[in-house]
Structure 1
Amino acid sequence: MTREDHVAERRCIVSGETQPQAGLVRFVVGPGDVIVPDLRGKLPGRGLWVSARRDLVETACAKNAFSRAARRKVSVPEGLPALIESQWVNGCLNLLGLARKAGDIVAGFEKVKGWLQSGEAAVLVTASDASPDGRRKLYGLAAGRPDVDLFTSEQLSLALGRGNVVHAALRDGGLARRFVADVNMLAGYRQCESPDGLSERELRNGE
């Protein structure tokens, strides 16, 4: 195995399973012996790892798994599972805001339709509360591209700084790829099934 082929693995403190690091949430013991989620893996300290599923994080909180893994008594913030989900949601929406500033996203049914038809769109984003008719029309044009519907129209509108955003499309690039990766994590954390989040096709392919 070459260095490029190596995939870092970590052990989940709840399930005991060893798996690629990308599929787990890292925690560290912060000031005051409080457990802190480290979604980007950048905080100093020894990592405590839990598979990136909300139910397993809830189990870790309920069964004192963090203290056992840290080998000392630690405090778990109230609502930690919800906090992690909120951080992932905010991270995804912030990426959409950055894409808006970079000119790499359009919103509105007709503009999105145009990008899909021309091949410029790499990712379709549809509000979770969009009408079924609009969904069907754009899904039919997505042609194998990731289609994300984890966020409400209100959330998309705030992220893009305009009212009533129901449909949006991202141009291919680093921001789009980071967005899809984070959406995959969020969907897995929520244990979503198609069509919530990436389509079943995209989740299976890991794109």
Structure 2
Amino acid sequence: MQARSDKAEPATLAEANRERRDIVTGEVMDEARLIRFVSGPDGAVVPDLARKLPGRGLWVAADRASVDTAAKKGLFARAAKAKVAAPPDLANLVESLLKRRLLSGLGLARRAGDLTSGFEKVAAAIEAGKAAWLIEASDGAADGRRKLTAKTRKRSPPTPIFGLFDAEELGLALGAENVIHTAFLAGRAADRWAQDAYRLSGFCPLLPESWREEP
């Protein structure tokens, strides 16, 4: 990718503050498309997914190839102008932390009333256009999933689907048992959660490989 040079400058200071430069390509992009890293006290590169840790931010596009390139080519040290080291499994760490953050976000959303669960309730939310995301347990039965997926395809645009967590993981996050079908209702919480979901998609698919064979 080439550094962006043909787009208009940010209209406001707030908009400018949401844009950062990827240390791998030099491209300026929205923070939502990037992962922030900082140098820890021991000189190790640390992911800062919430963008709150102290220190100079080192920004990398939210995908596995970019993080691997930054780690292998010493780009974190070059950008920091200091002796910092990135662990070889840094991309795997980012993936793991994003998944944990997404599960935590689901728990917060449930307590705030931004989720609905159960086949009938989820189906109704999708049909009414109130579902921002369909969240399906990765180990749930295919029949129910296919029926809800068919409903998402009737929406324009189609309701996105997330299927990386199994029923036990969803149950622990939501404080319930046998959580198979969940809808994240549209709103600001869903928008924030979606940012992390899309960042995670740069590190792993959001749906199990086996689902691709389903009609």
- Normalising by structure 1, report the TM-score: 0.80
Superposition map of 1:190-201 within 5 A: 190=204, 192=205
1:128 to partner: Cα distance:
2.7
Is residue 178 of structure 2 the alignment partner of residue 164 of structure 1? yes
Is residue 134 of structure 2 the alignment partner of residue 124 of structure 1? yes
SS at 1:189 equivalent: coil
1:118 to partner: Cα distance:
4.3
List gaps (5 residues or longer) in structure 2: 1-9, 209-215
SS at 2:202 equivalent: helix
Is residue 182 of structure 2 the alignment partner of residue 173 of structure 1? no
Q: How large is the Cα RMSD of the aligned pairs? A: 2.4
Return the match for 1:136 from 136, 146, 155: 146
One-letter amino acid matched to 1:12: D
Return the match for 2:37 from 3, 15, 27: 27
Is residue 26 of structure 2 the alignment partner of residue 16 of structure 1? yes
Q: Residues 103 and 18 (structure 1 numbering): CA distance in 2 closer, same or farther, change over 3 Å?
A: closer
1:119 to partner: Cα distance:
4.2
For 2:76, the equivalent position in structure 1 comes to: 66
Q: Distance in 2 between matches of 1:20 and 1:167?
A: 32
For 1:148, the equivalent position in structure 2 comes to: 162
Superposition map of 1:38-77 within 5 A: 38-77=48-87
For 2:3, the equivalent position in structure 1 comes to: none
Q: Distance in 1 between matches of 2:13 and 2:75?
A: 33
1:89 to partner: Cα distance:
0.9
Q: Residues 65 and 2 (structure 1 numbering): CA distance in 2 closer, same or farther, change over 3 Å?
A: closer
Q: Distance in 1 between matches of 2:169 and 2:131?
A: 21
Q: Distance in 2 between matches of 1:101 and 1:11?
A: 36
Is residue 17 of structure 2 the alignment partner of residue 3 of structure 1? no
Aligned residues between the structures? 194
Q: Distance in 1 between matches of 2:146 and 2:95?
A: 28
List gaps (5 residues or longer) in structure 1: 197-207
SS at 1:169 equivalent: strand
For 2:211, the equivalent position in structure 1 comes to: none
One-letter amino acid matched to 2:190: A
For 1:199, the equivalent position in structure 2 comes to: none
SS at 1:32 equivalent: coil
Q: Distance in 2 between matches of 1:146 and 1:4?
A: 32
One-letter amino acid matched to 1:2: A
Q: Residues 163 and 182 (structure 1 numbering): CA distance in 2 closer, same or farther, change over 3 Å?
A: same
Is residue 99 of structure 2 the alignment partner of residue 89 of structure 1? yes
- Which whole-Å deviations, capped at 9, do the CAs of 1:129-162 have from their partners, x for residues lacking one? 3333222200122223232223222321221122
1:120 to partner: Cα distance:
4.0
One-letter amino acid matched to 1:160: L
